[in-house]
A = this chain, B = another copy of it.
Amino acid sequence: MFYTPVVPPRPQRTPSQDIVPEVLAAALDLIATEGPEGLTVRALARRAGVAPMSIYNHFDGKNGVLDAIIIDGFNILASESDTTLNDPRENLLAGSGAYRTFALEHRAHYTAMFLHQFVGYTPSPDTMYVAAKGFEILAGQVQQCQQAGLFADRLYPDVAQQLWAAVHGYVALEIFGINFASDRDKVFYDFVGSLLRGLDSPNA
Contact = CB atoms under 8 A, between A and B. Distances in A.
Interface of A: 35-37, 114-117, 119-120, 131, 135, 154-155, 157-158, 160-162, 164-170, 172-173, 176, 178-182, 187, 190-191, 193-199, 201, 203-204
B195 A195 contact: yes
Contact of A158 (B35, B155, B160, B187): B187
A193 B204 contact: yes
Given A182-B155, A198-B195, A161 B187 contact: yes
A169 to B, nearest CB: 2
A158 B173 contact: no
B166 A166 contact: yes
A201 B194 contact: yes
Contact of A164 (B173, B197, B203): B173
Nearest to A204: B193
Contacts of A201: 194, 197
14 contacts: A35-B117, A37-B119, A157-B181, A158-B182, A161-B180, A161-B181, A161-B187, A165-B179, A168-B173, A169-B172, A193-B198, A195-B198, A197-B198, A198-B199
Contact of A169 (B135, B170, B179, B204): B170
A81 to B, nearest CB: 16
Contacts of A172: 165, 168-169, 172
Given A169-B170, A172-B172, A194-B199, 6 more contacts: A119-B119, A131-B178, A165-B169, A166-B166, A193-B198, A197-B204
A143 to B, nearest CB: 14
Contacts of A115: 117
Contacts of A179: 161, 165
A201 B179 CA distance: 23
Q: Which of A114, A179, A180 has the most CB of B within 10 A?
A: A180
